[in-house]
């Protein structure tokens, strides 16, 4: 039964997560914490950290991790398959449709409406995770330093991850 729940939950997340990895974070939070109770908010914050620093899309990394934690190897495989299935099917259909109708005014207006929604979902995810991630003054300092490194100093994200990991070791 848990394997079916995993598959259906991640199929739903994969189906409605428009806008990519960060846009699906609120859906993930709702499904795996609020609705299913598979992990806690603190574990979710850790999951987001690990999903960010490991290679691969956040949706796949999250599905693989949660699937394994809840249903072992079979759960991991099913959750991962479920989260990518909608994207694969949608891409096949959309590519065909865009080849035919992509230059029409209706399609261009639809994409203009979807773009702000994606930004709003990413902002909601950032705000939700920030409440969990910035639990102390040290955390705020690390976050502010990371932002300065990325936006002002134009450091490579990998360098910022390494520096922040070192700061976490020193400050915590």
62 is a domain residue: yes
133 is a domain residue: no
54 is a domain residue: yes
Q: Dump pLDDT digits (tens) for 119-134.
A: 888 888 888 888 778 8
Domain count, the chain: 1
pLDDT at res. 135: 85
User: CA–CA distance from 166 to each of 12, 46, 126, 132 (Å)?
Assistant: 37, 16, 22, 20
3-class DSSP state of 84: helix
Expressed as residue numbers, the domain containing 11 is 2-104
CB 46 within 8 A of CB 34: no
114 is a domain residue: no
Q: Give the residue-averaged pLDDT of 83-104.
A: 89
42 is a domain residue: yes
33 is a domain residue: yes
43 is a domain residue: yes
CB 82 within 8 A of CB 14: yes
Q: Give the residue-averaged pLDDT of 23-32.
A: 84
**122 vs 45: CA distance, rounded Å:** 15
170 is a domain residue: no
pLDDT at res. 20: 66
**111 vs 121: CA distance, rounded Å:** 15
Q: Give the residue-averaged pLDDT of 101-123.
A: 88
Q: Dump pLDDT digits (tens) for 57-73.
A: 888 899 999 999 999 99
């Amino acid at each position: 039964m848990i394997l079916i729940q995993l598959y259906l939950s991640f199929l739903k997340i994969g189906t409605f997560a428009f806008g990519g990895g960060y846009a699906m974070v609120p859906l993930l939070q709702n499904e795996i914490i609020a609705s299913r109770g598979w992990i806690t908010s603190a574990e979710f914050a850790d999951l987001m950290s690990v999903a960010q620093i490991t290679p691969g899309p956040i949706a796949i990394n999250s599905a693989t991790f949660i699937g394994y934690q809840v249903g072992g190897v079979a759960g991991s495989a099913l959750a991962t398959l479920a989260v990518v299935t909608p994207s694969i099917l949608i891409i096949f259909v959309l590519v065909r449709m865009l080849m035919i109708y992509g230059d029409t005014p209706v399609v261009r207006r639809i994409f203009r409406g979807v773009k702000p929604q994606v930004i709003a979902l990413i902002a909601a995810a950032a705000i939700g995770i920030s409440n969990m991630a910035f639990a102390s003054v040290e955390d705020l300092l690390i976050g502010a330093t990371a932002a300065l490194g990325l936006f002002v100093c134009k450091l490579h994200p990998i360098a910022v991850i390494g520096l922040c990991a070192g700061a976490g070791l020193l400050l915590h």
